[in-house]
Amino acid sequence: MWSVIPRFRWGLSPTPRRNGDSKISVEPAPLPSSVAGIRLIDSDIARRATDLSRSCCAPYLFNHAVRTYLLGSLTGRALGKRFDEEVFFLSCILHDLGLTERFQGDLPFEIQGAEAAKHFLSENAYPKEGIETVWDGIAMHASAIGQFKRPEIALVGEGAGADVLGPDFSQIKKSNVDEILRTFPRLGFKGAFVKTCADVVRRHPRSASRSFMRDIGERYVDDFHPKNFCDLVMQAPFSE
């Protein structure tokens, strides 16, 4: 039996309101208090970070950021990990800032995003230790290195990977994934995400870094044919 799903979908059901000049402005629906048994953080800094992510990210990318938190939290729960929920939420909600027009640049997108998050949190007087953990969580989320770090860091990559390539259903119930997807729809994520990444590389070719070992393998190792990330995204077990 599915849990009750909030009627709104983030980014899809804005609430009109009238401002002081009698003009209609649009205020997005608030985040639900919890989804799939995972509490969404509602501290002041979490709301500010959510507003920043929402203002920079296309709806499909913002929904991915929230799903990363939810899926990462479920993975952490399945593995018996204890972690600071606020720090983890901040890492997830801000983890793709480096793919946005506002924050992209010549560094790899995950480092661009980590730097943007660091400056934002510093301006909001967030504790230094928390800022450093958020930086690591974002900078390492696309790297195997992150898997060996503390849960607030490792679970960013776990959550993002589950949403991009597919979750481990031995750890996460399909009913929970269904609830997450109904609350924060994918909005054509597969194609939109690959196109966004390609646009960043087109504008900032130096940002497309990868391990030198792969370069050497492709040139000097016979029958070395690693899978292309684009194929893995398109093969993910999600209907778009």
Chain segment 197-226, per-residue pLDDT in tens = 999 999 999 999 888 999 999 999 999 999
Indicate the residue type of 140.
M
Taken in order of first residue, the domains within the chain and their CATH numbers are 32-234 (1.10.3210)
> What length is written for the chain?
240
Confidence of residue 15 (pLDDT cuts 50, 70, 90): very low
- 168: tokens are 């481990």
Q: By the 8 A CB rule, do 97 and 53 touch?
A: yes
Confidence of residue 6 (pLDDT cuts 50, 70, 90): very low
d(CA 174, CA 236): 14
Indicate the residue type of 134.
V
Query: Is the torsion defined by CA of 143, 158, 108, 94 positive or negative?
Result: negative
- 97: tokens are 């800032």
Within the chain, what is the greatest distance between any pair of CA atoms? 69
Q: pLDDT tens digit string along 161-204? A: 999 999 999 999 999 999 999 999 999 999 999 999 999 999 99
Please give the angle made by the CA atoms of 155, 229 and 183, to the nearest 5 degrees: 50
More confident call, 113 vs 4: 113
List beta partners, residue 34. 39
Please give the angle made by the CA atoms of 141, 145 and 149, to the nearest 5 degrees: 85
Q: pLDDT tens digit string along 29-48? A: 789 999 999 999 999 999 99
φ and ψ at residue 177, rounded to 5 degrees:
-60, -45
Cα-Cα end-to-end distance for the chain: 23
**pTM (2 decimals)?**
0.87
Q: What percent of the chain has pLDDT over 70?
A: 89
The average pLDDT across 152-168 equals 98
